[in-house]
Amino acid sequence: MDSGPLAVGIKPKEKDAGNAACIVDVDQLSVIRGNKLILKDIDFKIQKGEFIGIVGPNGGGKTTLLLSILGILKPSKGKIKLFGNKPMSKNLDGKISWVSQAASNIPNDLRVTVRELVALGTINRKNMFWGWRDNKKVEQVIDMVGLRDVSKIDIGRLSGGQRQRAVIGRALASDAEIIILDEPLVGIDREAKNALLKLLDDLCHTEEKTIIMVSHDLAAVRHTTHRMVYLEGSIRFDGIPPDFPTLEELALLRGIKDVHGGHHYDHSEEDCDGEHD
Ligand SMILES: Nc1ncnc2c1ncn2[C@@H]1O[C@H](COP(=O)(O)OP(=O)(O)OP(=O)(O)O)[C@@H](O)[C@H]1O
Ligand SMILES: [Mg+2]
């Protein structure tokens, strides 16, 4: 974590929280990709049942952090523990699920129904070869994600928001405790977005799922998540949404100078062609 004046919003509560229900522990993580230091000294813990929104500029390292938590990228320094285990360890089988942005881009000709996709989530290393499926769980999950009416329809024919829910359904069917979503709000309309965010929030409150969501939609993240992390190479903010920096503070955080020198041009006096009388 940055210790300079730009590192704001760290709540002692979060930093000093004990390890009791800490299920993700990222400790002094640095990650290098293609000879470039992408993440530097990332330090944070996630408690069970938290809904965390990770925001930040393009190239800020959000996906890199998620891939590191999943164990796909290896740290160049520091360590990550999930439920006390190294990422990808056998003990984590089925505990962590990844919902990629690609969910809303599923090809239209994909011949898999919602029910089949959700059922795929129940397959794990233990039941893979003897074909046992938890049908009750599948039906329960279909209701949970609100896709009962379209459960027999190919997912290629669903809207972006419905597809995203179907993929979340697969994650839920696997009984994953941590659901990681990279840009799930892209390509879905406002109504579907609100419904999806409500579903995620409900999952934290009623099912005690832990959700880590990366999104560029600052307003959505701010209004929905319980905790926000602003990532730009290092963590620049980690705290509750009401404490998230204003646009001016964010510009300061990012070292962006006001090109108008503090004077803001009043566009209300401007004609449509941009000329003044
Ligand atoms: N396979 C790769 N090899 C080398 N560098 C990479 C690779 N993938 C990403 N990077 C670099 O890592 C940095 C962080 O990328 P990352 O995808 O984590 O950012 P991000 O915050 O998720 O951005 P976006 O908001 O655009 O999704 C970028 O500078 C990017 O160019
Ligand atoms: Mg990304």
Residue from 37, 58, 186 whose mutation best tests the ligand 1 pocket (most atoms within 8 A of CB)? 58
DSSP code at position 26: E
β-partners of residue 179 are: 97, 211
Read off the pLDDT of residues 203-253 as tens digits, 9 standing for 90 and up. Answer: 999 989 999 999 999 999 999 999 999 999 999 999 999 999 988 888 887
Q: Between β-strands 227-232 and 234-239, what pairing exists: parallel, antiparallel or unpaired?
A: antiparallel
Selection from 111, 223, 105 nearest residue 164 by Cα: 105
pTM: 0.83
The reply to whether ligand 1 has any atom less than 6 angstroms from the CB of 61 is yes
Q: Between β-strands 210-214 and 178-182, what pairing exists: parallel, antiparallel or unpaired?
A: parallel
Distance of alpha carbon 266 from alpha carbon 270, whole angstroms: 8
Contact of 124 with 185, CB cutoff 8 Å: no
Residue 173 above 90 pLDDT?
no
Selection from 106, 107, 139, 110 nearest residue 122 by Cα: 139
Say which residues have a Cβ less than 8 Å from residue 273's Cβ, sequence separation at least 6: none
Contact of 99 with 184, CB cutoff 8 Å: yes
Ligand nearest to the CA of 64: 1
Greatest distance between any 2 Cα atoms in the chain: 79
Say which residues have a Cβ less than 8 Å from residue 125's Cβ, sequence separation at least 6: 93
Read off the pLDDT of residues 1-33 as tens digits, 9 standing for 90 and up. Answer: 443 333 444 443 444 444 558 999 999 999 999
- Residue 177 has what pLDDT? 94
The reply to whether ligand 1 has any atom less than 6 angstroms from the CB of 56 is yes
Selection from 215, 173, 176, 175 nearest residue 196 by Cα: 215
Ligand nearest to the CA of 233: 1
Ligand nearest to the CA of 232: 1
Q: Where are the alpha helices (DSSP H) in the chain?
A: 12-16, 62-70, 114-120, 135-144, 160-173, 190-207, 218-224, 247-253
DSSP code at position 91: G
> Given the CA of residue 183, which atom of ligand 1 is nearest to it?
27
- The residue behind tokens 């379209």 is 150
Distance of alpha carbon 171 from alpha carbon 179, whole angstroms: 7
CA of 195 to the centre of ligand 1 (A): 29
Contact of 29 with 77, CB cutoff 8 Å: yes
What percent of the chain shows pLDDT beyond 70?
Answer: 81
Name the amino acid, one letter, at 136: K
Retrieve residue 56's tokens.
Answer: 């930040």
Q: For the packed helices 160-173 and 135-144, what is the interaxial angle rounded to 10 degrees?
A: 140
> Given the CA of residue 65, which atom of ligand 1 is nearest to it?
18
Selection from 190, 149, 191 nearest residue 166 by Cα: 149
Read off the pLDDT of residues 91-142 as tens digits, 9 standing for 90 and up. Answer: 898 899 988 766 666 777 878 999 999 998 887 666 656 555 668 889 989 9
Q: Between β-strands 227-232 and 77-82, what pairing exists: parallel, antiparallel or unpaired?
A: unpaired
- Residue 6 has what pLDDT? 39
- Residue 88 has what pLDDT? 92
**CB within 5 A of ion ligand 2: which residues?**
62-63
